[in-house]
Structure 1
Amino acid sequence: MKAIVYQQFGTTNVLQTVEEPKPVMKADQVLVKVKAFSINPMDWKIRKGEMKLMSGSKFPKHTGTDFAGIVEEIGSSVIGIKKGDEVFGVVKNMMKEAVSAEYVAVTDSLVWKKPANISFAQAASIPVVGTAAVTALEKMGNIGPQTNILVNGATGGFGMFLLQLLKQHGANITAVTSNQGTAFAKKWGAYSVKDYKKENVLSQKATYDIVIDLSGKIGYKTAKQIMKPKALFLNPTPKPIDIPISLLGNLFRGKKHIVILSSPSTKQTDVLLSAVKNGLEIEVNKVFPFAGFKEAYDYAEQGGYIGKVVVEIN
C-alpha cells in the first residue's frame, strides 16, 4: 500500500510516499480502507519536531490522526462492526500512530459508523477537533445566555464545532475571525463577530466570562485584561510547560488558565453524532487528492481558511 512518511523533522519537503505492507490486525482491531483523512495542526507540530519530547525522534514517521473509510477486515474479538461498513475513526496515540496511508488498523473502540448523510471527507473531519470542542464545552461548566464567551480564531475546524455546540446552550458568543469567516460565525451561533483585521478586542471595553484562544495568538497573560475577575481562559494549544504552570498558578488566582487536553472516546463521539443528526454543519474548505498531499499540508499550514482541509484516497 502507499503511505506518506518522513525520515527527518522539517517542512513539507520531508514528506514522501513509499510502499509499505498492509497493517497486521490485532484481535480487537479493524482494518479500514482509507477514503479520506483530515489535517490538524498537531500533524505539522510533530513533523517539525516541536513535540519531540512526546513523539520521540525515531524514524520513519507517518502523519495524520483522523480518517474515514470502509471496513476491509475485522479482528476475532470485534463486535458491532462488520466488513463493508462505512466508518470514521482516530488513532489511539497521535504521537506514535498515523493514518496517511491506503489502509489503517485501528482499535475497534475508536471506530464509529459514518452517518449516511455526510461524506467521507466530512466524517474524517470529526474526531480530533470535534472531541476538542466537546472537551472545551465540559471545561466551561454551566453556561447559558448570561455567559459572555470570546472565541478567538472562531471559524477553523475547532471553532466550527465549538460555536455550534455553544449555540445549543444559548451562550452569548463573540467570535473573532476574518472577513470571509463572518457569515459562517453568525450562522454557527455567534451573537457578535469581530474582524480581527479591523478590530482589536484587547483594546475594547468588553470583558468576558470565558476566553478561548483557538488561534494560539493571544495567550493567558494577554487575555487577562479582557477577563472578568473569576473568568476562565481555555488553552487548546498548550506548550508542554503550560500544563504544570497553569495547574500551580490556578491555586492562587481568580482568573484561571485551563489547558484543554482531549482524547476521543465513544462518550464524546456520541455527543457529536447526536449534533450531526440534529443539523450540525461540517464545512470542508478544500479536498486534495492523495497525490497532492504536500500541497494539502502547505495550504493547511498557511491557515486563514474556514472549516477543515482533507486529503482523499481513491
Structure 2
Amino acid sequence: MARDPARVVPGMRAITYSQFGSADVLELTEQPDPHPGADVVVVRVRAASVNPVDWVVRQGYLEGVLDTQFPAIPGWDVAGVVEQVGLDTPELQVGDEVYGYVRKDWVHGGTFAELVAAPVRTLARKPASLSFEEAAAVPLAGLTAYQSILRSGVREGQTVLVHAAAGGVGSFAVQIARSLGARVIGTASEANHDFLRGLGVEPVAYGDGLVERVRALAPQGVDVALDYAGGDAVAASAQLLAPGGTITSITDAAARTEHGGHYVWVRPSSADLEALGALIDAGKVAVEVGQVFDLADTADAHRASETRHGRGKIVVRV
C-alpha cells in the first residue's frame, strides 16, 4: 500500500540491529533524522569505518560497559559534512568537512547512517590531504595510537616496541612514534615485514622466540612497549623493558595493575584529532584503506573485519 505523503515522517537510511548476534542481525532500515542538541551538530555522513569493537558490541560482549538502546545504529568513525548546527557550536559551521570518533554514553545513534548527531567534542576538521573514505579510517584507531603514545611519554631517542605493528592501531602508532624521533621495533607476521620496513620500523615475527628476537635488536631493553595485540604481549614486554621502562596496553589491564604501566581506553578529543590531522597533512602519518563497501553491504564489512585478515581499514561509503 502506498503511503500518504502528508503522513510521511522524514527519515534517513541507516544500518540497525534490534538484538545482539552475528552480522546477520544488521539490516538497512529507515530511521528518523537526528536533531542537533545545544553542543551537537548533525553531519551528513560520506564515509564510516569498521573497528573490531563494532562487532564486539554487536555481539553483546560489552553490555554493562556500553549499554545498547535498540534499534541501535552501530559505528563510531565518521567523515562527512556539517549539515545542521546546535545552539552553541561556534567551533563548526554548516558546510565544514569534518571527521570524528562519535562515541556517546550509550550505543544507539551511530555512524553507519546517512546522518549522525555528533557532539562537537568528538569532531575536528577533516585533514585536507585525505578523501572522505581515508578520513573515516582514522579517528578511533588513530586516536587510540596517539593517546596511548602520549600516556606512555614517548620521546626522541627512545626505543619503542609495538605489538601488532601492522594492524589498524599499530600502523598509526609506529608512524606517530617515528615522528617523535623514536626508534621503533614492531611485531607482525612475516607477510607484513616489508610494509613495516617502509614505515621505518624494524620488524620481528610473532610466536615462540619473540623475546629473544627483540632482545637481539635491543640488548639494553626497550623504553616503551605498546600492546595492541593482547595474549601474552604484556608478559613478554615485561621481560624486555629497560630500567624505568613503561608498558601500555589497550587490551590487558595487567599492564597497569601488575607492571605499573598504563591501560588506555580511547576517548573522543577534538584537540587530539586536530593534532593527528596536522601529522597527516604534514606527510608524517599515512592512511591505508583496505576495502570499501556500500552502506547496504555493512554486514559484509563486519564479516570482513571479523576474519582479521588483510591490511588497512575497512570503510563503508554512504
TM superposition score category, shorter chain reference: 0.7 to 0.9
Q: What does 1:1-314 correspond to in 2, within 5 Å? A: 1-56=12-67, 58-93=69-104, 95-97=106-108, 98-145=110-157, 147-190=158-201, 192-196=202-206, 200-204=209-213, 206=215, 207-238=221-252, 242=253, 247-249=256-258, 255-279=259-283, 280-313=285-318
Q: What amino acid maps onto 1:293 in structure 2?
A: T
Q: Deviations over 1:10-43 (max 9, x none)?
A: 2111211211111122132211111100111211
The offset of 1:113, in angstroms, is 1.9
Q: What stretches of structure 2 of length at least 5 have no aligned partner?
A: 1-11, 216-220
Q: What stretches of structure 1 of length at least 5 have no aligned partner?
A: 250-254
Q: Distance between the aligned counterparts of 1:177 and 1:142, measured in 2? A: 21
Aligned 8 A contact 2:84 2:94 in 1: yes
Q: What amino acid maps onto 1:106 in structure 2?
A: A
User: What percentage of aligned pairs have identical amino acids?
Assistant: 30
Q: Distance between the aligned counterparts of 2:118 and 2:153, measured in 1? A: 32
Q: How many residues align?
A: 300
Q: 1:85 to 1:205 in 2, by over 3 A?
A: closer
Q: Distance between the aligned counterparts of 2:103 and 2:297, measured in 1? A: 26
Q: 1:223 to 1:70 in 2, by over 3 A?
A: same
Using structure 2 for the length normalisation, give the TM-score.
0.86
Q: Which residue of 1 aligns with 2:3?
A: none
Q: 1:54 to 1:73 in 2, by over 3 A?
A: same
Q: Distance between the aligned counterparts of 1:95 and 1:222, measured in 2? A: 35
The offset of 1:188, in angstroms, is 2.0
Q: What amino acid maps onto 1:296 in structure 2?
A: A
Q: 1:220 to 1:211 in 2, by over 3 A?
A: same
Aligned 8 A contact 2:154 2:182 in 1: no
Using structure 1 for the length normalisation, give the TM-score.
0.87
